[in-house]
Copies of this chain bind each other. A is one copy, B any other.
Amino acid sequence: MGKVVTLGEVLLRLSTSPGIRIPLAQSFHVQYGGAEANVAISLANYGHEVYLASKLPESNILSESVNRHLQSFGVSTRFIKEGSGRLGTYYLETGIGERGSNVIYDRAYSSFSMISKNEWEDEEMFKDADIFHVSGITPALSLYWRELTIELIKQARESGCKISFDINYRSKLWNQSEAGKTLRKILPFVDYCSAGKLDALYLLGISESSGKDEMSHYYRAIQREFSNIKVLYSTKREIISATANKLTGYLWNKGKLYSSTTHCMEPIVDRVGGGDAFSGGVLHGILEQMNPQKIIDFGTAASALKHTVEGDCNQFNAEEVIRFSSLGSGKITR
């Protein structure tokens, strides 16, 4: 089992039951999550020693809620700072059928986004760590975070840590040009990278593929530019409706493309965090030194499984993910 450090913001999610619009909702479902926190929980479920570096409002019971959530899955909260600012929040009007979900962000002025110096400078956070994982949401939060993210990545590499990066582009936080510029500064340090077709086209300026094997085209082009990246991976999601999606995972390793079987996810209980569960699964495969086909099968199964439960995070251990892969869709176990 490995040791992993992740870095990122945790948000409070307030969502409606499917079929209920926000103005008629008399209650909201409460969840806590964030891209990197979700990856941390996945990896803790698989038995790794995992830390989340983050920042929360001080003396605030919502911060305690976040800590309890992480601890319940065995994620260490030792590197979570507290200070001024609020807890980032978002509202999710849950979609169903033809009507997609609608996200209303209320995350400005959060404690994490307003960080203004490296609060982990003197920590021995990366000592003996195998992987440092961060997503593109973190540098998107502020100009200072664009610097600090790189600073922390360098700090991690000095400790001999591999760098895992999920591009995770969010158009509501920054634009393609800003994101592209920052990515070009980060990717030279990255070992494992979750990047998809749209990232290649719009953020990294790679030309569109006209051929059949498009994923190989994009991954080959990315790796040509950033030869330090050892593993590239992403999912392709076919959206039939908010309730029915098809999901296939792709992984590029040593010049070869691997793809998973396609999961027909219907009904989807909750798609938020599906990508994080995928990253968590792939990183587990890497840490466990699985072969590339097993990695992509495991990661995609983990993501499909995540879609069957409420909440942002994957709640299954490795044995359950494997049994799910082998059992066949929908079989009862009794």
Q: Which residues of A contact B (CB under 8 A)?
A: 14, 18-30, 60-62, 64-65, 68-69, 71-74, 86-87, 89, 91, 93, 95-106, 108-109, 170, 172, 239-245, 263-271, 304-305, 307-311, 315, 324, 327-334
What residues of B have a CB within 8 angstroms of the CB of A106 in the complex? 86-87, 89
Tell me how far the C-beta of A334 lies from the nearest C-beta in chain B, rounded to whole angstroms: 4
For A109, the chain B residues whose CB sits under 8 A away are 108-109
Q: Give min CB distance, A325 to chain B, whole Å.
A: 10
Name A308's closest neighbour in chain B (CB-CB).
B99
Q: Which residue of B lies closest to A170 (CB)?
A: B334
Instruction: Please report the C-alpha to C-alpha distance between residue A28 and residue B315 in the assembled complex, in whole angstroms.
Output: 18
Assembly stoichiometry (copies): 6
Excluding A98-B308, A172-B334, 19 further A-B contacts by CB distance (< 8 Å) are A27-B29, A86-B106, A95-B308, A95-B330, A96-B308, A97-B307, A97-B329, A98-B304, A99-B324, A100-B331, A101-B334, A102-B333, A108-B109, A239-B329, A241-B264, A241-B266, A243-B330, A244-B266, A267-B267
Contact A271–B332 (Cβ < 8 Å): yes
User: Is A309 a contact partner of B30 (Cβ separation < 8 A)?
Assistant: no
Residues in chain B near residue A307, CB distance under 8 A: 97
Contacts of A269 in B (CB 8 A): 18-19, 96-97
Q: How far is the CA of A287 from the CA of B263 in the complex (A)?
A: 45
7 A-B pairs closest in CB distance: A103-B334, A72-B72, A242-B330, A241-B330, A19-B269, A23-B65, A99-B308
Q: How far is the CB of A42 from chain B (nearest CB, A)?
A: 14
Could you write out 13 A-B pairs with CB less than 8 Å apart?
A: A14-B28, A19-B270, A19-B308, A22-B64, A24-B310, A25-B30, A86-B108, A95-B308, A98-B329, A99-B305, A100-B327, A100-B329, A239-B329
